[in-house]
Amino acid sequence: MAVKSSELYRFIPMRVKDLDMIYELEIKSYDFPWTKEILRDCILYNYDSYSVFFGDEIVGYIISKISYPETHILNLTVSSQFRNNGIGGSLVQLIINDARIRNSQDIILEVRSSNKIAQSLYKKLLFKQIGVRKDYYDCNEGREDAYVLKLEL
Instruction: Tell me the pTM.
Output: 0.91
Average pLDDT over the chain reads: 94
For 92, list phi and psi in degrees, rounded to 5.
-65, -40
Contact 3, 54 (CB under 8 A): yes
Q: What is the pLDDT of residue 72?
A: 98
Residue 1 lies in a domain: no
3 pLDDT above the threshold of 60: no
Average pLDDT over residues 59-80: 97
152 pLDDT above the threshold of 80: yes
- Among residues 95, 75, 93, 91, the alpha carbon closest in space to that of 83 is found at 91
DSSP 106-149: EEEEEEETT-HHHHHHHHHTT-EEEEEEEEEEEETTEEEEEEEE
Average pLDDT over residues 57-75: 97
Residue 129 lies in a domain: yes
Task: Please tell me the distance from the alpha carbon of residue 101 to that of residue 109, in angstroms, as a whole number.
Answer: 19
Q: What is the pLDDT of residue 4?
A: 52
Q: Residue 98 sits in which domain range?
A: 6-152
Q: Over the stretch 10-41, which tens digit does the pLDDT of each residue have?
A: 999 999 999 999 999 999 999 999 999 999 99
Query: What is the distance of C-alpha 136 from the center of its chain?
Result: 17
Residue 31 lies in a domain: yes
Residue 24 lies in a domain: yes
Q: What is the pLDDT of residue 53?
A: 97
Number of independent structural domains in the chain:
1
Q: Over the stretch 115-131, which tens digit does the pLDDT of each residue have?
A: 999 999 999 999 999 99
Task: Please tell me the distance from the alpha carbon of residue 40 to that of residue 118, in angstroms, as a whole number.
Answer: 24
Query: What is the distance of C-alpha 96 from the center of its chain?
Result: 12
Q: What is the pLDDT of residue 11?
A: 96
CATH for 26: 3.40.630.30
Residue 145 lies in a domain: yes
Contact 153, 105 (CB under 8 A): yes
49 pLDDT above the threshold of 50: yes
Residue 121 lies in a domain: yes
Q: What is the pLDDT of residue 138?
A: 86
82 pLDDT above the threshold of 60: yes
Residue 72 lies in a domain: yes
